[in-house]
Each structure stands twice: as C-alpha cells, then as structure tokens.
Structure 1
Amino acid sequence: MALAYKTSCEKCNISLNTQSEACICSYECTFCETCATEMACICPNCHGELVKRPKRNMD
C-alpha cells in the first residue's frame, strides 16, 4: 500500500506537494513542519508521534 500524500497541512491549510517538508503520523495525518513543531510532534488526532514525511520523486 502506497503512502497517501495529502496536499495541505491539516492545521493551517498551507499547500503541500510531494517535495514539501511535512510530518505525518502512522495514520497519515499530515502537518507542515511549523505546525508539527508547535504541537511538539504529537498528532492532535491520534496522539501518535509525528515524523518527517519522505519526499517523493515524481520523475
């Protein structure tokens, strides 16, 4: 199963693409790095750890 790359931060709604710096939890909740840092890298939805999302090369 492929990772779902969401197109915006779930907190501030900033636009994200596959090369954007973003953080995700194990349920693929997605936040920009700024929001993730403000939330101490804890997902507000599941309370799991937010980690850096890998970048996807679309070549």
Structure 2
Amino acid sequence: MLELRPNCEHCRTPLAPDASDARICSFECTFCAECVALLQQVCPNCGGGFSPRPVRPASRGRHENDLQHYPASQREVYRPVDLAAHARWLAERQQD
C-alpha cells in the first residue's frame, strides 16, 4: 500500500491524498508536477521515471480500502535536490 506522502520532497508543497499534481517513482519518492518538470522527469534518488500518484478513495472503498481505514502518511520527507548536480548527472548519463 502506498504511503501517500504529504508533501513534495524538493519544495515542500503540500500534496493532499487526492492531489492531481502528485508524482511518484517506483520507490515512492514523491514530488509535485512542477518539480518533476525541473528534474526532467527523472527521480534524483533512484534515477527512475515518475508517474501520477494514484488516488485512494476517501471512504466507501471496496473492502474498506480507503483513507478512512488506511490514512495517508503524515511523515514529511524533505530532501531538496541540488538541481545543478542533477543536471550534470543527467548529462553524464546521456553520454553513456
């Protein structure tokens, strides 16, 4: 089950569980769509791509699989990205 982290790891923008601009990688690193664009769609932590974060129903989910029974995480993750270093890493990666 996804944690549904409450904020963008780079800019700390709040991301509600139903936020349409929340993006995650396969390790569930969480960023807002604006920061994902700055990161050129590549996760700075794992190097993978991003996808829109799925939305968990607020209530009345099938088999009680909803926010009422499985709430979103309240634990903030804040790891601001050095955008210049990320851009250099991306450029090096493209040369390989």
Query: How does the TM-score come out when normalised to structure 1?
Result: 0.90
- Which position in structure 2 is the counterpart of 1:43? 43
- Which position in structure 1 is the counterpart of 2:4? 5
Aligned length: 58
Contact 1:41 1:51 in 2 (8 A): no
Contact 1:18 1:56 in 2 (8 A): yes
Mind listing any 5+ residue stretches in structure 2 that lack a counterpart? 60-96
Higher fraction of strand: 1
* Structure whose CA Rg is larger: 2
Task: Write the deviation string for residues 3-50 of structure 1: whole angstroms up to 9, x where unpaired.
Answer: 110000000001111111211001000000100111111100011111
For 1:4 and 1:41, the matched residues in 2 are separated by 21
Mind listing any 5+ residue stretches in structure 1 that lack a counterpart? none
Contact 1:19 1:56 in 2 (8 A): yes
Higher fraction of helix: 2
Kindly, what percent of the aligned residue pairs are identical? 40
